[in-house]
């Protein structure tokens, strides 16, 4: 099996899901670990070099304070790559 890697232009993508990418941060109020799973929560109109925010929700703070507790984290996409896996032995005529 071989792979090929290249940069991609993500500027035309409306919703970008990223399998296997999760950001974990501690809640600034209670320390509970908050997660943002990009395979479930997408980035809208991603662009390399563009700053954006991702949202986190703390269930523990919401239960204690009896109100929704949302936090934003600034992010910046620094590169976009695609890796393709292929097997040269499987080359077939059209």
Separation of alpha carbons 73 and 29, rounded Å? 14
Q: Are 71 and 28 in contact (CB under 8 A)?
A: yes
Q: Are 41 and 19 in contact (CB under 8 A)?
A: no
pLDDT of residue 85: 94
- Structure tokens belonging to residue 89: 């032995």
State the pTM of this model. 0.72
pLDDT of residue 25: 95
Three-state SS at 84? strand
pLDDT of residue 68: 77
- Structure tokens belonging to residue 64: 């204690």
pLDDT of residue 27: 94
Chunked in runs of 10, what are the mean pLDDT values of the chain (94 residues)? 85 87 94 94 90 92 84 92 90 90
pLDDT of residue 58: 93
Cβ neighbors of 73 (< 8 A, separation 6 or more) are 23, 25, 36, 53, 54, 55, 56
- Structure tokens belonging to residue 20: 């296997």
């Amino acid at each position: 099996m071989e792979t090929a890697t290249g940069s991609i232009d993500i500027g035309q993508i409306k919703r970008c899901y990223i399998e296997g990418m999760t950001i974990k941060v501690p809640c600034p109020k209670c320390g509970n670990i908050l997660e943002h799973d990009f395979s479930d929560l997408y980035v809208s109109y991603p662009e390399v070099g563009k700053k954006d925010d991702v949202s986190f929700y703390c269930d523990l703070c919401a239960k204690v304070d009896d109100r929704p507790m949302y936090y934003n984290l600034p992010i910046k996409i620094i590169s976009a790559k695609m890796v393709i896996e292929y097997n040269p032995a499987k080359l077939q005529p059209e």
